[in-house]
Copies of this chain bind each other. A is one copy, B any other.
Amino acid sequence: MKIWDKGFSVNEKIEKFTVGKDRILDVFIAKYDAIASKAQANMLTKVGIITAEDNGKLQSALDEIINRCEAGEFVIDENYEDVHSKIEAELIVKTGDAGKMIHTARSRNDQVLVAIQLFLKDYLTETREKVLQLIDILVEKADEHKDELMPGYTHFQAAMPSSFGMWFSAYAENLLSDLYFLDAAYKVADQNPLGSGAGFGTSLNIDRRETTKELGFGEMAVSSVGAQMLRGKTEKSTAVAIAMLSATLSKMSYDLVMYNSQDLGFVKLPKEMTTGSSIMPHKKNPDVFELTRAHCNRLQALPNDITMTINNLPSGYHRDFQILKEFLFEPMLQFNDILDILIFAIPQLEINDDFMNQEKYDGIYTVENINHLLQSGTSFRDAYRLVGISVDEGTYEPHKSFKTTHLGSIHNLGLDEIRAKIKRYSGR
């Protein structure tokens, strides 16, 4: 009956269970552990705990590890339970007694946390760049398709004339709103916990200002207890930022999946983004956008996963925090892949040009008919009534020629204002 038992003994299971996926996942933070160790060694040298000579050896050995990390050549073999024991062991092999000093006045707790903080800062910076790139693309697409109308829907009902210019720029502006949360997550990550030890500091004479400065943190997490409380909070903050962005990208994908249907038929998706059916030769399934939607929806649940795991634990470290890596790191990777794919796909979106004149969309101009009557002096209530009667009696003729003037409307998209808004945000 054991459907996937691999024959491990219970003791092996316990070892596997406690180590978890640390060996695989810690590769992501190996570089940052080495960077933080360099700062720690420099500081310990400055306060007289490590000699200049030993520090020289440590700096070289750590630089070499960083190089291997960047070349993708750093591996955590089975002799080590995590990246921290692996790096420490390497340092001892290469530098002897110097390596034995590196853990002075540091605990595993602040060591992991500082590496995670540095990692998240880089991740969030990269993600922010990609999102800004996608925003620019959306504004350009809005410009490119500014004259192409589409029905605007409310209650899933074709309601009023809309346009792809407004649609593309809508997503640009909404992604910009989401970036406010990414910036908040960055600020949470931009606090140095190094020196807080196991969450209660140390009686050794360390200088936390030094490591804060060398590592480029904007702030110090001053209280040692408070620094440790960032564990979980900082991961969740990043998850919240990803979730907010994902909500917008999921909605955009949902629109595109529908716009690609035979019933709406507004867009033609890039060929690489659709697949055929093994039994229905007429279909062009929008798989990439369905999967983008699915992954973005799953990512929206991440903050809840994290909260469920870390909630109702009193202050202080709990081993529970370890498993956050297991369900956070891979989705973070996936999210940036999605951004890459959209950056590739969106420029290739084509708009069909034959759908607006279908009779089923005649009704969307009733507001224009009403506005037209308003301009000739009829009151709104009368105009509404008259157009309503014409719809009921079948004499309604859609008033398709109209002209909007206000910012953010079909004929005045306000793209320059949107570009200025982006610039105010991004500062470039």
Contacts and interface: CB of A to CB of B under 8 A. Distances in A.
Nearest to A278: B108
6 contacts: A1-B129, A104-B380, A240-B240, A285-B319, A291-B319, A294-B319
A418 interface: yes
Given A160-B198, A173-B222, A367-B280, A155 B380 contact: no
B3 A277 contact: no
Interface in A94-146: 100, 103-104, 107-109, 119, 122-123, 125-126, 129, 142
Contacts of A197: 160
What are the 5 closest A-B residue pairs judged by CB atoms, nearest first?
A: A170-B226, A312-B312, A282-B363, A201-B409, A294-B320
What interface size band does chain A fall in?
A: 35 or more
Interface stretch (A34-42, A51-59, A397-405): A397-405
Given A281-B388, A282-B396, 19 more contacts: A6-B72, A100-B379, A153-B316, A154-B317, A155-B317, A155-B319, A166-B223, A167-B315, A172-B226, A203-B371, A219-B421, A254-B313, A281-B366, A291-B319, A291-B322, A298-B309, A301-B304, A305-B305, A307-B308
B283 A316 contact: no
Interface string A279-301: 11111111110110111011011
Contacts of A255: 314-315
A414 to B, nearest CB: 4
A312 B387 CA distance: 34
A187 B180 contact: yes
Given A166-B223, A261-B157, A188 B198 contact: no
B417 A220 contact: yes
Interface string A1-39: 111101000110110111010000000100000000000
B408 A366 contact: no
Contacts of A129: 1
B187 A384 contact: no
B198 A418 contact: no
A201 B166 contact: yes
Contact of A311 (B275, B312, B368): B312
A80 interface: no
A354 B73 CA distance: 54
B291 A298 contact: no
A321 B224 CA distance: 33
A119 B3 CA distance: 9
Interface in A248-276: 248, 250-251, 254-255, 257-258, 260-265, 272-273, 275
Given A159-B200, A263-B263, A294-B309, A407 B154 contact: no
A154 B281 contact: no
A59 to B, nearest CB: 21
Contacts of A320: 290-291, 293-294, 297
